[in-house]
Amino acid sequence: MRPDQPDEPWLSFLNELDGMLSEPTELHCIGGFAVVHAYGSDRTTTDLDILLPAVVANGARLIEAAGKASALKTRYGVHLE
């Protein structure tokens, strides 16, 4: 994330998600989140669009842990999509 962009709630959300994962996982971010945090756009977003990992089971676990119906969404108001 860029220093001039607000980190929250994204930093706490991603840190908690990281603690839930049993193996290193790369998230390739696209969409509005990427535009906001990479280029400083004024746009806001409540979802983080990702390209799912090649192993579908890992992708399903990510969406279960941090998707629209997850406890993380309830806690932080943001989610993976």
Counts of helices then strands in the chain (DSSP H, E): 4, 3
Backbone angles phi, psi at 2, to 5 degrees: -75, 145
Along the 81 residues of the chain, how does pLDDT read in single tens digits?
A: 445 556 889 999 999 999 998 888 888 899 999 998 888 888 888 999 998 766 666 788 888 999 999 999 999 999 999
Residue listed under structure tokens 């119906």 = 69
pLDDT at 17: 94
- The pTM score is 0.78
